[in-house]
Structure 1
Amino acid sequence: MENHNREGILYAVAAYSTWGILPIYWKQIVDVSAHEVLANRIFWSFWFMVLILIFSKKLPSFIKSLKEFQKQPKLFAALAAASILVSANWFLFIWAVNSDRVVESSLGYYINPLISIVLGIIFLKESLSKIQILSFFLALAGVLILTISYGKFPWVSFGLALSFGVYGLVKKVIKVDSSIGLALETLVIMPIAFIYLSIHMKNGTSALFSESISNDVLLVASGAITAIPLLFFAKGVQKIPLYLMGFIQYIAPTMMLILGVFLYGEPFGATRLIAFAFIWGALALVTLSSINWNQVRGRNRNKVA
């Protein structure tokens, strides 16, 4: 069980670390609309996953799973919900960035773990230790400080947090191989993306294959850039409790913060510093409690031996 959790933690850390540095990638595509970036992400993600399935020899299993999902309406509905939720999350984030609402977006990534923790407790009956409960309220205090300092209800933030939080819950419930599951998710929404891109290409308004080679490469590669961290996430979320995944989620916005302040020169005032202190205090408590728990289990094993 310990190795199982360690593997899940590594996948989760890999997913959120990758998402943490993605702003560097998206800042290279400055002349493409949010709608077209989203359509390209969905379309090329599907074909990237097809290649993954071919090389991993899972294509027959994918076809078998597709037939099974079609025979089970509830399972197919959950799959469709996951696809819609993650697509909505992508669109809302791209729209927010293009609308100069980066502050609200970053706040969403700090609210997201709290949503995951609450969903885990309500729907999966996960329990928290006293230290973890204290950590939750410390993190909540930090998020509230950020919210109050912003000055109004950040609906974009809660939209981002809720859409990805529920997506994580659905991924936790759907028991399917991570690569097959992601291929199925992108397949559900891919036809819409294909129609959108086709119309723009026919009208001569598409940025793909019409403006610059660098843009073409970035848009096509967005499939792999999108799919890889989602694969890591899917593997991690099935191996560790949702509350633990919730705390690990703070990696991504923290990396974005570092990029924003030190690479892009965005301001970071005293209010944000106080809020981040609460959040990192929560992470420190969770980390220490996990270390102590592993040490206790190790001592118990030694006594039994």
Structure 2
Amino acid sequence: MSGPHSSGPDTTEARAGVAFALGAFLFWGLAPLYFKTVVAVPALELLAHRVLWSMLLLAGLLIALGRLRPVLLQLSIPGVLPRLLASTTLISVNWLVFIWAVGQARVLEISLGYYINPLVNVLLGMLVLRERLSPATSVAVLLAAAGVMNLAWQADGLPWVSLALAFSFGVYGLVRKLTPLGPIDGLMMETALVAPLAIGFLIWTGWDGGGVIANGQVSFLLLLAAAGPVTAIPLIWYAAGARRLRYTTIGFLQYLAPTCHFLIAVLVFGEPFDTAQLVTFACIWAAVAIFTADGVMRSRRTGAVRESGR
């Protein structure tokens, strides 16, 4: 019989899951540092490079694993291609806004967007999937809305970067939830669908001697090619972590990414953090705390019910 401190297969898997998930969310959280190094590249051109190099890396990985053909065959399933086209559009918009915001020194707004995103997911679940909100989650959503409206009132306009990131990624997750493809398989197909546009755009920008490919040094081109690993590696780690951990654990760890964004914006990039933003972030942080605590308590109640039913 295993003792209380034994390290069985379940414990080992859980530790591996935490390590993968931590790596993924920290990687995503540190992504603005990478995109800041290539900020001289116009946002659309940088997006094209991100799509191209991600597609090549993920396709190569699936070929090495012998999974490319089975993934392509799933396109014949009714409804898969239209959903992939929708998710491709959403993730492209999300990436473009993210890249542009880093270049415009608006990483604080990126942070706010990804703090809001889980609450947007809950709202979409209620509106689209007819899921019921618990009282605590309802309070969290209202607090988040109050924070956004405060910033809109104080800054004389909605924080559109935050809302665009939160809603594009939220709707993207909803569409992907309805598409029978795993995270890596799906992203490879999404980047493959938009790759012809990306390649055409890069050829067009370089046709008259413009663009990074025509004028860039080899070292800088290699830095752009790193957009592939920067995109694919955290996704692979996230998929590995999600398979090993409970949803509530993943839900708690996901706040590492916007926390890193926040710290980088304020401490590294020196973006201004005024009273209006402080009030908004306080509302969002309170909403996140309520939402996370509610999720943990509901998970424990569900576990207790299962244990009692054995």
Q: TM-score, normalised by structure 2?
A: 0.80
Percent of matched pairs sharing the same residue: 38
CA distance in 1, matches of 2:217, 2:293: 50
Moved over 6 A (4+): 5-13, 243-248
Q: Shift of residue 110 of structure 1?
A: 4.2
Q: Shift of residue 76 of structure 1?
A: 0.9
CA distance in 2, matches of 1:150, 1:117: 27
Which of 131, 135, 148 matches 2:136?
A: 131
Which of 165, 176, 183 matches 1:178?
A: 183
- Structure 1 residues 303 and 100 mapped into 2: Cα distance closer, same or farther (>3 Å)? closer
Partner of 2:260: 255
2:273 aligned partner, one-letter code: F
Aligned-CA RMSD value: 3.5
8 A Cα contact 1:8 1:240, kept in partner: no
Structure 1, residues 220-257: CA drift from partner, whole Å, max 9, x if none? 110221233445667859x988x998886654333211
Q: Secondary structure at the match of 2:226?
A: helix
CA distance in 2, matches of 1:153, 1:297: 38
Partner of 2:56: 47
Structure 1, residues 201-229: CA drift from partner, whole Å, max 9, x if none? 33321213642233212211102212334
Partner of 1:267: 272
Deviates more, 1:244-253 or 1:195-204: 244-253
- Structure 1 residues 303 and 10 mapped into 2: Cα distance closer, same or farther (>3 Å)? same
CA distance in 2, matches of 1:136, 1:102: 23
Deviates more, 1:29-38 or 1:57-66: 57-66
8 A Cα contact 2:87 2:175, kept in partner: yes
Gaps of 5+ in 2: 1-10
Deviates more, 1:173-182 or 1:286-295: 286-295
CA distance in 2, matches of 1:201, 1:34: 15
The count of residues paired between Structure 1 and Structure 2 equals 298
Q: Secondary structure at the match of 1:32?
A: coil
**1:199-238 correspondence to structure 2 within 5 Å:** 199-208=204-213, 210-231=215-236
Q: Secondary structure at the match of 1:27?
A: helix
2:167 aligned partner, one-letter code: L
**1:1-305 correspondence to structure 2 within 5 Å:** 15-66=24-75, 68-69=76-77, 72=78, 74-99=79-104, 104-208=109-213, 210-231=215-236, 250-300=255-305, 303-304=308-309
Q: Shift of residue 280 of structure 1?
A: 1.9
8 A Cα contact 2:151 2:276, kept in partner: yes
8 A Cα contact 1:108 1:156, kept in partner: yes
Q: TM-score, normalised by structure 1?
A: 0.81
